[in-house]
Amino acid sequence: MKEQLSHQKEVHTLYFDVAPYIWGTKDVFVNMYIVQDPASKEWVLIDTGLKSSAVKIKKMAAQLFGEDSRPSAILLTHGHFDHVGSLKKLADEWDVSIYCHYLELPYLSGRSSYPPADPRVGGGLMAKVSGMYPKRPIDVESRLHILPPDGSVPFLPGWRYVNSPGHSPGHVSYFRERDKVMIVGDAFVTTKQESVTSVMLQIKKLSGPPKYFTYDWEAAGVSVKNLAALNPNIVATGHGRPMSGTDMQVALANLAAHFDKMAIPARGRYVNDPAVTNATGVVYVPPKLKDNTLLVLAIGAGVAAAGLAWMYYRKYQKKKQRSITELAQAYLLAKIKEAL
């Protein structure tokens, strides 16, 4: 009985339901999705998470479809490290094709790196450590295929992809027309991805794209407006929990209408001077900000935080306990380093 309960608990935590024939799983701080076509029974994987995600993805697939199951293809929303970490491993093991927008090809064929992350934006720890995230492109060119120009999605009749650039050059989101379910990627997210506390607790907050990787804020704003215009009923994003219903639709409409104030940082490398890309990759990156004001403020904030932390420690040292938040933050950062 104990073994059965343990197995049931493991199964329950392997994945979450999004909508009929759509399932997701989270690894550390990023989501991956499996989508099945109910008629053909074929299924695809959308995004592959971190290097550590392969085992979890395969366990989810085995639980859903059986131990020897394999997808018809892997589809990508974009090629940032936290969405392609297990891409080569899974594509090789399953011997399947990979589909992406043609403007993502340079970053998936070893030809170009993305514009560098901007650790100054967002204010949270996830943003501040973004400088250590992997920068080099991966090379899976032999398996790459371009998404059809008519917007259709391979192996998923009834779905279409929507161009949603700004966070990355060839970013796409996937939309099922019949029930208005959207797999968004990072065009917008449902948590404050820059904050380690928000990520750790999966606090629901419909937000703009993760700030530290967004290289063209004007394009990102247009993308959110275009996605909001589809009036989705359910949104499943790259970061955060799925959201649905009227409250989500109101929040998304509000984000689209007030993107400048709600999503664009006050300062940042790409705020007023976006990187320029084309089909060959990155052709221009603006210089780093030279203003030392942020550094001075950061040092001051660090000194103040250290003082407060010491006071906190002295106050509670007799209890010899750390808060749940502190422990979880340390755990999350350790998992991030392990996954890089």
My answer on whether 138 and 157 are in the same domain is yes
Tell me what the mean pLDDT of segment 247-269 comes to: 97
What pLDDT sits at residue 323?
A: 56
Question: What 8-state DSSP symbol labels residue 272?
Answer: S
Q: Where are the alpha helices (DSSP H) in the chain?
A: 2-14, 54-65, 81-84, 87-94, 105-108, 125-128, 196-201, 217-229, 245-257, 259-262, 293-316, 324-339
| Domain that includes residue 328, residue range | 293-339
My answer on whether 41 and 175 are in the same domain is yes
DSSP per-residue codes, 128-159 = HTGGGS--SPPB-GGGEEEPPTTSB-TT-TTE
Choose the final residue of a domain: 284, 307, 328.
284
Q: Is 103 helix (H, G, I), strand (E, B) or coil?
A: helix
* Range with the poorest average pLDDT among 34-43, 125-134, 260-269: 125-134
What amino acid is encoded at 313 in this protein?
A: Y
What pLDDT sits at residue 291?
A: 53
pLDDT for 290 beyond 80: no
Contacts of 232 (CB under 8 A, 6+ apart): 175, 180, 181, 182, 248, 249, 252
Number of domains in the chain: 2
pLDDT for 334 beyond 70: no
My answer on whether 65 and 160 are in the same domain is yes
My answer on whether 321 and 222 are in the same domain is no
Write the pLDDT tens digit of every residue in 144-175: 999 999 999 999 999 999 999 999 999 999 99
Tell me what the mean pLDDT of segment 248-256 comes to: 98
Tell me what the mean pLDDT of segment 121-139 comes to: 90
Around 59, how many Cα atoms within 13 Å sit in the side-chain half-sphere?
16
Confidence of residue 338 (pLDDT cuts 50, 70, 90): low
Tell me what the pLDDT averaged over the chain comes to.
Answer: 88
Q: Is 330 helix (H, G, I), strand (E, B) or coil?
A: helix
Kindly report the length of the chain: 340
What amino acid is encoded at 330 in this protein?
A: A
Question: What 8-state DSSP symbol labels residue 117?
Answer: P
